Amino acid sequence: MADYPVKSFDSKKSIDFLSVPKALICNFKWEKGYEPFSYAQVALVPDDGFYVRMFSAEKDPLARFTEKGSSVCLDSALEFFARFDPENMRYVNLETNANAALLAQCGTSRHDRIDVSERFDAEPIRTGDGWGVLFTLKMDVIEDLFSVDRNDFVRGYSFYANFYKCGDETAFPHFGMWNEVDSQIPDFHRPEFFGRLVIE
């Protein structure tokens, strides 16, 4: 199981992603041949929320969907799945394409999802090298969806998550992950295979 250290900052404006470690999305086990350099970074602002920056070195990503709640995994997508209560398999999945058309759902498996897209935000990132997103996960939303308290998120607290890069209907279908999912077929909805995030 992979571990990732979560750095804390005083405010969103003070987050310095140059100092935040990168979780490389470099395991493309189900399809070979197209593996764009991709990574994720997580920052915590106590009593405010988590800020998840993801990036992929794709200069011309497939991005057809523009509305929240769309099936963005069919486009070129970046995805963050997280279990904020380490004792519970309930998780939230945040997925987006280069248009920041956010899909967010919550449940314990792919079969019991409820749509919570309106409760999260995604800001698009475009550079000459590729595209990305900044997900915002506010503490009041996390507290409401999970049996946790914002005061739980202190140094040493650990929870579970995974980062993905995919594109089901792209010219080169691909399924990349940070922590390996032990499945014979592409399946990101496997919370038992999330890696561990530890607050520094």
**Structure-block tokens of residue 39:** 């990574």
pLDDT in single tens digits along all 200 residues of the chain:
899 999 999 999 999 999 999 999 999 999 888 999 999 999 999 999 999 999 999 999 999 999 999 999 999 999 999 999 999 999 999 999 999 999 999 999 999 999 999 999 999 999 999 999 999 999 999 999 998 999 999 999 999 999 999 999 999 999 999 999 999 999 999 999 999 999 99
The pLDDT score that the predictor gives to residue 32 is: 84
The pLDDT score that the predictor gives to residue 45 is: 98
Domain holding 34, by residue range, is 3-199
Structural domains counted in the chain: 1
Residues 94/100, Cβ–Cβ less than 8 Å: no
Q: CA 50, CA 42: separation in Å to the nearest integer?
A: 7
The torsion angles phi and psi of 18, rounded to 5 degrees, stand at: -65, -25
* Domain CATH for 16: 2.60.40.1190
**Structure-block tokens of residue 137:** 């996960």
Residues 6+ apart with CB under 8 A from 129: 57, 59
The pLDDT score that the predictor gives to residue 31 is: 86
